[in-house]
A and B are shown apart, each in its own frame.
Chain A
Amino acid sequence: MKHKLLSVAVAALLIPAANLVSAETKPAAMKLSDNVVKIGVLTDMSGVYSDLGGQGAVTAVQMAIDDFKAQYKPKFNIEMVYADHQNKADVGSNKVREWYDTQGVDMVTDLLNSGVSLAVGKVTQEKKRIAIFVGSGSTRLTDQDCTPNTIHYAYDTYALANVAGKAIVKNGGDTWFFLTADYAFGHSLEKDTSDVVKANGGKVLGSVRHPLNASDFSSYLLQAQASKAKIIGLANAGGDTINSIKAASEFGITKNQQLAGLLMFITDIHALGLQTTQGMLLTSGFYWDKDDETRKFSKRFFDKTKRNPTMVQAGDYSAVTTYLKAVVAAGTDEAAAVMAKMKSTPINDFFAKNGKIRENGRMIHDMYLMQVKKPSESKYPWDYYEIKSVVSGEDAFQPLSASQCPLVKK
Chain B
Amino acid sequence: MTSFFDIPIQALMGQLMLGLVNGSFYAILSLGLAVIFGMLNIINFAHGALYMMGAFLAWMGLEYLGIGYWPALILAPLAIGVFGVVIERSMLRWLYKLDHLYGLLLTFGLALVIEGLFINGYGVSGQPYQIPTELAGGFNLGFMFLPYYRGWVIVASLSVCFATWYGIEKTRLGAYLRAATENPKLTQAFGINVPIMVMLTYGFGAALAGFAGVLAAPVIQVSPLMGSHLIITVFAVVVIGGMGSIMGSIVTGLGLGVVEGITNLVYPAASNTVVFIIMAIVLMLRPAGLFGKEQ
The reply to whether the CB of A101 lies closer than 8 angstroms to some CB of chain B is: no
The reply to whether the CB of B269 lies closer than 8 angstroms to some CB of chain A is: yes
Q: How far apart sit A226 and B143, CA to CA, in the bound complex (Å)?
A: 10
Give the Cβ gap from B232 to chain A, nearest Cβ, in Å.
Answer: 10
Interface size on A, residues (CB 8 A): 38
The reply to whether the CB of B41 lies closer than 8 angstroms to some CB of chain A is: no
Would you give the 0/1 interface string for A204-224, flagging 1 where the beta carbon is closer than 8 Å to chain B?
A: 000011110111101110110
Is B223 touching A210 in the complex (CB atoms < 8 A)?
Answer: no
Residues of B close to A247: CB separation below 8 A: 219-220
Give the Cβ gap from A209 to chain B, nearest Cβ, in Å.
Answer: 6
| CB within 8 Å of B: which A134-149 residues | none
Is B128 touching A215 in the complex (CB atoms < 8 A)?
Answer: no
Is A220 touching B264 in the complex (CB atoms < 8 A)?
Answer: yes
Given contact pairs A222-B18, A239-B223, A51 touches B268 in the complex (Cβ within 8 A) = no
Residues of A close to B179: CB separation below 8 A: none
Q: Across the two chains, which residue of chain B brings its CB closest to A242?
A: B221
Q: How far apart sit A48 and B228, CA to CA, in the bound complex (Å)?
A: 11
Would you give the 0/1 interface string for B1-45, flagging 1 where the beta carbon is closer than 8 Å to chain A?
A: 000000010110011001101100000000000000000000000
Residue of B11, B123, B229 with highest tally of chain A CB at under 10 A? B123
The reply to whether the CB of A267 lies closer than 8 angstroms to some CB of chain B is: yes
| CB within 8 Å of B: which A238-272 residues | 238-239, 242-243, 246-247, 250-252, 267-268, 270-272
Give the Cβ gap from A222 to chain B, nearest Cβ, in Å.
Answer: 5
Given contact pairs A215-B230, A216-B18, A216-B220, A239 touches B124 in the complex (Cβ within 8 A) = yes
Q: How far apart sit A182 and B272, CA to CA, in the bound complex (Å)?
A: 11
B268 is contacted by which of A208, A271, A276 (Cβ under 8 Å)?
A208
The reply to whether the CB of A47 lies closer than 8 angstroms to some CB of chain B is: yes
Residues of A close to B233: CB separation below 8 A: 215
B221 is contacted by which of A47, A218, A223, A243 (Cβ under 8 Å)?
A243
The reply to whether the CB of A46 lies closer than 8 angstroms to some CB of chain B is: yes
The reply to whether the CB of A307 lies closer than 8 angstroms to some CB of chain B is: yes
The reply to whether the CB of B163 lies closer than 8 angstroms to some CB of chain A is: no
Is A210 touching B22 in the complex (CB atoms < 8 A)?
Answer: no
The reply to whether the CB of A16 lies closer than 8 angstroms to some CB of chain B is: no
The reply to whether the CB of B149 lies closer than 8 angstroms to some CB of chain A is: yes
Q: Across the two chains, which residue of chain B brings its CB closest to A217?
A: B220
Q: How far apart sit A251 and B125, CA to CA, in the bound complex (Å)?
A: 21
Is A219 touching B145 in the complex (CB atoms < 8 A)?
Answer: no
Is B147 touching A251 in the complex (CB atoms < 8 A)?
Answer: yes
The reply to whether the CB of A321 lies closer than 8 angstroms to some CB of chain B is: no
Q: How far apart sit A271 and B115, CA to CA, in the bound complex (Å)?
A: 18
Residues of A close to B74: CB separation below 8 A: none
Residues of A close to B225: CB separation below 8 A: 47-48, 213, 239
Would you give the 0/1 interface string for B121-162, flagging 1 where the beta carbon is closer than 8 Å to chain A?
A: 001111110010000001000001101011000000000000
Is A219 touching B265 in the complex (CB atoms < 8 A)?
Answer: yes
Starting from the known contacts A216-B21, A246-B219, A246-B221, 15 additional A-B residue pairs (CB-CB under 8 Å) come to A46-B116, A47-B225, A208-B268, A210-B268, A211-B269, A211-B271, A218-B18, A223-B264, A226-B8, A242-B221, A243-B221, A250-B131, A250-B219, A251-B145, A276-B128
